[in-house]
Each structure stands twice: as C-alpha cells, then as structure tokens.
Structure 1
Amino acid sequence: MLRDDEAQTAPAERPQEPPLPESDGRGSGRAAQGEVELLHWTELRGIPRREALVEDLLDSTALSVLYGPPGTCKTFFAIDLSRCLADGTPWRGRRVRRCAVLYVVAEGGRGFVDRLEAMRLHHCVPEDIPLFVSVNPINLRSPENDGGHVSALIEKAKALPLEPGLELGLVVIDTLSRAMAGGNENGAEDMGAFVMQMDRIRAETGAHVMLVHHSGKDEAKGARGHSLLRAAADTELSISGTQPIVSVRSEKQRDHRTGETFAFKTVEVPLPPDESGRVRGSLALAECEAVGQVTARRPKLSPQTSIALSILQNEIDRSGEILPATDRTPRNVKGISLSLWRTACGTHGLVAADNSKDKSEALRKAFKRAFQTLQDKEIIGFHNDRVWLAR
C-alpha cells in the first residue's frame, strides 16, 4: 500500500501476481497448468489487491490504453506521466509509486528527443531519472520465430541498470499501430495475438503496460480497432481538445471511478540551437486544474466554437483576474475582457482568410456565433464587458 510519508519518493517492491490461497481440503489453490482449481468465494479475500502506480488511476501490472485523434498531445501526456513516475513526483496531486520507465518509441523517432528535452527543461527534471527509451522498429505482435521482438524486449527490460530497490513499473508502447508491425487492428486474430504479447510483458516484467493509440473515424466510439482491446484493458483514457488546451478523460476503469477529466495546457519551450545553429523548440504539458473541472460537464460543440472556447480558457489562465462580485457575476471567478478574447481569437487563428478585409469580417461573424452559442449553453458568463467560464 502507498503511505503518505514515503509513496512519493521511496521505491516499492515490484508487485507479483499472488498465488491463490490454500483451501480447507478442497485443493491447494495453486493449480498446475492445465488443471482447474475451485475455491469458495470467501477464500478470494486473501488475494492482495494490485498496488497503485498512480493513486486512483493506474495500477501496477495492469494494461491501459491512451487514445485520441491526431494532434491531441498523446505522446506529450505519456511523457509527462513517465516523468512523474521516474522522478517520484505526484501526478495531479496524486501519490505515485516511484519506478523506472521504459518508453518504446515505435513512432516519432528523432523528434522524441526534443520532446524529452522540453519536458526536462520546463519541469527542471534531473537527467539521471530512470527513464529508458527504445527507438528501433519493433514487432510486438508476432512470435519470435516470425520476426517478433517481445522476448528481446523483456530480456532488455530485466537487464536495465537500476539503482538498488528500484523496479521497472511502466512500459509505454507508442503507438499500438506501429508496434503491431502491419497486423490488422480490426481483426480478432491479430489484435488477440498482440494483447497476449502485452500480457507476456506484464507478467514477466511486473510492469504496467500503457498503449498509445488512435481513435477511430467516429471518435465517440472510442479507440480504433477490434473490441477485444477494450475488453482486455483495465483502464482507458481518451484525450481530446485543441491546443493549447487538451483534456484527458477516464473512460473505463476496472477497479476505479470513471468519468474523471484532467485538463492540461501546452507550453512552448525553447531548446538550445542544434549543430547548425538552427533555433529549435518543442512543447511540454502543464496542469490546468480549473479548466479540467469545467471540461467534464460540457455539451458537444462545433470545431470552431471549441477553438474559441479553448482560446478563452488559455487567456483566462494566462492573464485572467478575479472579477468584482455583482448580482450577475459570481464570487471568486476569474475572467477577461470581451475585447481581449476577441483579439486573441484573431491572433490564434479562429478563422483563416487570405484577404485582410475578408478575414476581419469572417472573424466578426465566427466570434459572434461562438460567443452566442457558449452563452446560450451557459458555458460562459458575461457582464460589464467581462467574460468568464460558468461551468
């Protein structure tokens, strides 16, 4: 169990799948392979629960799927979570079990280095955190005699140079599609084989496996591919939104509460010039707690209205001030002027037009529509030229 005085920093032993308890003359509770063991239900009380990896979100030795459409910062989220676990830093105020992390970069290659550098610089993370990366093309679907790399990955994972007492706790596969190495995501046979290989990794390393994946054509139907992936997952996290604000929602939990939403904002991080002197940059994620509380209860919006709302959220977070309470303005609410929001929408591309006159008129109409929609749905409040998030 996590303890308040040690869970954030002290390493814990790797949780092992416990044997079933012995029964009173009805069997040992440890059936040999190929045998069937029957127990009275009360005997299951002796089986320990999985240890928490992230309090009330992810468990050790479990399987999770993080999915979303392109451009929603899936990899940035997985990097940020990996940072917290490797550094022993609380995640969104929740206790974590400090552990080593193995990140399998099957997609994104060279650009991944810049993302790690941005994370390190923005969060002031030491370079020696136990975060290890695989950047080679990898096949985690096929058996070894058919070009698969699961056994090799497990062998390398077990041989990681870790400090005494520290265990491998998280393996990130980014992305599932690339790691399937041409397998059919929609086919039960290929997806079933892939899930079985993930089970092997979990069983033989004792680590939680997180799969970074894409949503389907209909985002409302969840992750792309055969439904047995969702059935096998202990946790499903969806990620959505338009930069600079993205939200992560707990869609499925086998043993925890679902429906929680966590919001993040992207932060631009300048990087040192490369060998040719070219200035580089990347992004890091930062918490955006107030927006996270709002996002969970919002109705579906059009893409343009969602962009306008995201811009408002970012401007309030960046420069909002507590508004004077009135009969129409709640107490202790942060807001900005309507003109500031309108200007930010023009700056951040609410509309696109080649002609400046056309763009000005298009912006005026688009902003008016978005403002009216958000006010009608009671997502924003407005009074005395000040606008704020109402829910």
Structure 2
Amino acid sequence: MWNKGGPKGDPIPYKLPELLAAQEAPVFICEGEKDADNLNAWGLIATTNSGGAGNWHQALDQWFAGRTVYVLADNDEPGRKHAERVAYHLGGKAAQTKVIDLPGLPPKGDVTDWIAAGGKPCELLTLCHSLPDARSITQALPSTVLERPSAKDQRPSPSPIHQSKAANYGHRNQAARRRWDFDEPQDHVVAKRWIMKGLLARGETSGWIAPPKAGKSALVGDLCVAVAAGQNWRGKRSKERCAVVYFALERGDLVRRRLIATMRRDGITTLPIRLVAGNPDFATPHGITAIINEINEASTHFGLSVGLIVFDTYAKLIAANGGDEDKASDQAALLAKISEVNLEVDCHVALIGHTGKDQSKGPRGSNAFGGNYDFEVRIKGEDHRTASIVEANDAPEGVLTTFTMEGFELGRDEDGDPIDIGIVARDAPAQADAQEAGLAQRKLSPSQRIAFEALCEAINEAGELQPGNPRIPAGQRAVNEDLWRQYAYKRSISNATQDAKLKAFTRAVEALLASHHVSTWDGFYWVNRGQS
C-alpha cells in the first residue's frame, strides 16, 4: 500500500492499481509524485519510485516487464543519472525503454515545469515516439563495431546508396541501435505491438507484391484508411489508431483521388493521413534526416503517433536513389536505410512492389528484397483478386483477403462528365460468402480448411456463372471439381503421394458438403449462402 511519500512494506511503484489496469498503455516514470499526478491528469499512465533520485530498487523492475516505458529526466545531474539508472534496470525487462530530456527546461526543472510553460500531451507523445531506445544510449557499443570501414574495405565506385551508408555510419546509426542482454532470466512474454492485430505491428516491414494493375496500391490505400480511422479491416482487429504517412513515388494524384473516394464512400470527412508525392532521398544523410523529420512532423501536426509508412513503389524508390533492383548489394543498401529510419520512428513500413515475369517467384529484381521484410502479401487475379500472406517470418501464411474493385464517382468535371475512380469494394466476396455460410474455420480440420480456402480462391480467380442451371443459385459463380482439386493440391492438402492427396481432397469435399459449407450440382461446386 502506498502512503504519502512512499509505500508501506516492500517497494512498489506509485499508482500501482492504475498501472496494472492499463497493461497496453505506455508508462511514464517521473521523479516525484507531483510529476506523476500532473501526467495522470492528462489521462496518461505515470508513476514514480519512493525516495526520489538515486533510489530505484530492483524489486520495482517486475512491474514493467513487457511494457513501453518513458523515463522523464529532471534537468540536473542527479536527475539525469537517476533516469539512466532506471533505464538500465528495465533494459532487459521492458519491451522498450526511452530516456526523455524535455526541451526548454530551466536548471533543475522537471515535467511539472514543462507543463506550466505550455507543454501539451501531443508534444510529449511525439517527442517520446521520435527518440531512440534508451538501451543504445546507456550502453556504449564496442569501438570496433562503431569504426568506419577502411578505404580498402570499400567497394570501388559505390552507388549513392552505398555512399550514404559510409558517410552516415556515425551518431544517428549508433543512437538507432536496439540491444537486449540475456544475462538475466527472460521470464516475461514480449508481445508484438499490434496496430492491426495479426497483420501490422510496429517495428516490422511488409511487402505488397503484384503485377501492374492488380490493385496492390488500392488495397494498401484501403488499409491506410482503416488504420487512420482506427477501424477493423477485413477480419483484422484494430489495436491502435495511428497516423499514416504515404510516400507516393508515382501517380500521386491517383493515390490522392483514391483515398478521397474511399473516405467519402465510408462517410469519413477527415483522417490523419499525410500523402507525400515525390522521391524520398535515402542517398544522403541529410535526405534520411528529412524523411525522419517529415514523419515526426506529421505526428506533431495530427497530434497522433504515426504507425504506418508506405513507399509506393519500391522499384521507383531504389531507382530514384541511384540503385539497381537487379543488384542484391543495391537492394540491401536501400533496405538497410529503410530499417534505419524505422528504428528512429518505430512504425510499420509497407513496401509496394511488382512481381517479375514469373509471378510465382515473387518480387521483381534481386531476391534480396524478399529476404528483408517480415511477410509478403502477394496479390493475383483479375476481376476477383486474392491477397495471400507468403514468406512470413513468424505469422500464419494463407489467404489474407479476397477483393474486387468498384467504381466511385468523385464529382463532375468542367464539362459535366463524371470523375470516376476505382477503389477496393467494401466487401470481400469469398469472405462474405464464408460469413453468410456461418463459417467457423477453427472447427474444420486442417485438410478441410485448406480445401475450403482453395475453393474460395478458385471461385474468386476462375469461377463462372451458370445461368442455364436452375439448381445453382442465380448470380452464384462456381467451379468444377478438377479446378478445385488443382487449387487444393497447390495449397499442399497433403505432402504424401498422389493417391494420398486425392484421398485427403475427397474426404475434405465430403465433409464440407455434409456440413453445408459447400454445395454441388452437375459437377460444379460453390460456397453456400445463408446456410449453416
């Protein structure tokens, strides 16, 4: 129990009940109860230790395991040492720890003084989000790691991307490093910091890959609107409403019209989305700093942390920075710079790219691209398209969503003609079919689930209407068994012999028909509507 001036009994953090009640919120550690109370009045979760500076007790560490922690340093030597001591203690336990030096503090000033001088919650959150992890500040890296490469180690005639890497191997790179020590028991679970649960997490990178005109930019734009609105998206649950910064390296006007159309279609007037048309400069240290400043300024402008950054397209990005997408070294150099930026701003980075001539082989150019993100979303199909997660590091692979495009009229031009734009339709066809069928895929066996998803994909990509067949519902597209089986085999319904594959498929079809998930007539199969 906490009495005025400190707890009675074993050391505990100030305002412990509030700390425990908000497990997903970041925690602010101050030097004193008054400071914590002032931040709590803003609706933030703030605490302190008893005894003031220099009295952090190891027993307090346990309460911050797996949390994001911001340590606010008082503006004097004891305050700074205390903040660094707290950060050091929590370095192996908290998910992330940052030491915050508030700007403009008088000597011996603290967060209460900063608030009295006009400091605002959004300014504090933006400052906290933009600074590097404290572990890279409090624990110096070995000098051998920080030395710049010698001349003999440099490649001859490096591209601008490589020149940037050599020229900028200094202060910001050191500050952006994140470190964890494992010389103490790791007895807590460090969860991903989800923005859209099961899809987008802070600190990760994804690739959205498709042929030209396949809807990849439209699908990512639709996702941006959901992130900025704090809405669920195609079965994925929103965990954090975030601002979005979208770098459009091509067709910026088209991206703008599409975002406006999606917002109007959904009845949304304003959103924290910043669209930046042009070529971001990753080839110089100044350019990288400008990108980081753009993102941080967007956070300040919206009063909301940026959580999603989009680069559209990756091919234009590497070309604009003097690289060649066919060269693994150029790919790796640019991707390292993107990672450097993300270490600074701590967002999810979505890279939109093209497939090569053989779409099954993934992204165009060197395979270094595909090896540097956490998962890839590959889109295929024409009228009815399927987006599938492939090449995922630690996430389930399979169909993410199915979708179609629909027209939306933005208005009329000076001649009175409609201004039409194609956007992602609100409902995903296969997912809608599944929901109307009362599908609970967790109740299906693995082979049944693979067969069902294979049917959805086959219908979306190659299904045809059967107007002359009265037993098939009007407007219902269907596929024959041979095509369904091909899609099921492609999804590896069994890894054994051809005979075993056929048996697994046949049993799955029989189970799906018996459970009324699927219906058939005259050799054609479709997903049921309105049956359970």
Per the TM superposition, whether the score is higher than 0.5 is yes
Cα distance 1:94–1:299, how it changes in 2: closer, same or farther (>3 A)?
Answer: closer
Q: Cα distance 1:158–1:40, how it changes in 2: closer, same or farther (>3 A)?
A: closer
The CA deviation at 1:54 is 1.1
CA shift, 1:173, in A, is: 0.3
Of 377, 385, 390 in structure 2, the residue corresponding to residue 251 of structure 1 is 390
Question: SS at the partner of 1:71?
Answer: coil
* Greater length-normalized contact order (CA 8 Å, ≥ 6 residues apart): 1
In the TM superposition, what whole-angstrom CA distance separates every residue of 1:36-68 from its partner, at most 9, and x where no partner exists? 889547644457333011111221121111101
Question: Displacement, 1:235?
Answer: 1.7
Computed over aligned residues only, the root mean square deviation of the Cα atoms, in angstroms, reads 4.3
CA contact (8 A) 1:100 1:167 kept: yes
Determine the C-alpha separation between the residues in 1 that align with 2:180 and 2:290.
36
Match of 2:312 in 1: 174
Residue in 2 that maps onto 1:279: 418
1:158 corresponding residue in structure 2:
296
CA contact (8 A) 2:222 2:259 kept: no
Report SS of the residue matched to 1:253.
coil
Task: Give the SS at the match of 1:192.
Answer: helix
8 A Cα contact 1:66 1:74, kept in partner: yes
**Partner secondary structure for residue 281 of structure 1:** strand
Residues 328-364 of structure 1 show CA distances to partners (whole Å, capped at 9, x for unaligned) of x8xxxxx534xx679xxxxxxxxxxxxxxxxxxxxxx
8 Å contact kept, 2:385–2:461: no
**Is the 8 Å Cα contact of residues 386 and 461 (structure 2) preserved in structure 1?**
no
1:240, CA displacement in angstroms?
Answer: 1.2
Match of 2:473 in 1: 336
Match of 1:297 among 428, 442, 454: 454
Question: Which whole-Å CA distance do the structure 2 matches of 1:229 and 1:298 have between them?
Answer: 31
Q: 2 CA distance for matches of 1:383 and 1:64?
A: 41
SS at match of 2:252: coil
Give the Cα–Cα distance (whole angstroms) in 2 for the partners of residues 274 and 135 of structure 1.
23
Is 1:143 equivalent to 2:280 in the alignment? Answer: no
Query: For residue 69 of structure 1, what is the aligned residue in structure 2?
Result: 211
Does residue 229 in structure 1 map to residue 369 in structure 2? yes
Q: Structure 1's 162 and 265: CA in aligned 2 closer, same or farther, altered over 3 A?
A: farther
Q: Is the 8 A contact 2:208 2:350 kept in 1?
A: yes
Residue 102 of structure 2 corresponds to residue 102 of structure 1:
no
Q: Which amino acid aligns with 2:526?
A: W
Residue in 2 that maps onto 1:82: 224
| 8 Å CA contact 2:312, 2:353 repeated in 1 | yes
- Three-state SS of the structure 1 residue aligned to 2:398 is coil
Unaligned runs of 5+ in 2: 1-19, 26-42, 46-66, 71-86, 94-134, 146-178, 435-448, 487-508, 513-517
User: Which residue number in structure 2 is paired with residue 211 of structure 1?
Assistant: 351
Shift of 1:383: 2.9
Instruction: Sort the Cα spacing of 1:67 and 1:100 in 2 relative to 1 into closer, same or farther, 3 A.
Output: same
Distance 2:350 2:317 in 1: 12
Q: Is the 8 A contact 1:114 1:281 kept in 2?
A: no
Distance change (3 Å), C-alpha of 1:38 and 1:83: closer
More divergent stretch after superposition (289-298 vs 154-163) = 289-298
What is the CA–CA distance in structure 2 between the aligned matches of 1:284 and 1:11, rounded to whole Å? 38
Aligned identity (percent) is 23
TM-score, normalization: structure 1?
A: 0.69
CA distance in structure 2 between the aligned counterparts of 1:5 and 1:39, rounded to whole angstroms: 23
1:180-237 deviations in whole A, cap 9, x for unaligned? 1152112122101110111122111111110000112211111122222222211211
Structure 2 residue 260 is the aligned partner of structure 1 residue 120:
no
**Which is richer in helix?**
2
Residues in 1 aligned to 2:24 and 2:414: alpha-carbon distance in whole angstroms: 45
**236 and 281 in structure 1: CA distance in 2 versus 1, 3 angstrom threshold:** same
Aligned residues: 327
Unaligned 5+ segments in structure 1 are: 317-322, 324-328, 330-334, 343-366
SS where residue 160 of structure 1 aligns? helix
Q: Is the 8 A contact 1:15 1:50 kept in 2?
A: no
Q: Distance in 1 between matches of 2:408 and 2:281?
A: 33
Q: Counterpart of 1:275 in 2: which secondary structure?
A: coil
Could you tell me whether the CA contact under 8 Å between 2:356 and 2:365 is conserved in 1?
yes
Q: Contact 1:72–1:242 (CA<8 Å) still a contact in 2?
A: yes
- 1:32 equivalent to 2:140? Answer yes
Name the aligned partner's letter for residue 112 of structure 1: V
Q: CA deviation at 1:95?
A: 1.9
SS in 1 for 2:391: strand
* TM-fit CA distance, 1:371: 5.9
SS at 1:388's partner residue? strand
Q: Whose radius of gyration is greater, 1 or 2?
A: 2
Decide whether the 8 Å contact of 1:177 with 1:185 is kept in 2: yes
Cα deviation for residue 389 of structure 1 reads 3.8
State the AA in 2 paired with 1:207: C
CA-CA distance at 1:241 after TM superposition: 1.1
- SS of residue in 1 equivalent to 2:290: helix
**Counterpart mapping for 1:355-370 below 5 A:** none
How do 1:370-385 residues align onto structure 2 when only pairs under 5 Å count?
374=483, 382-383=520-521
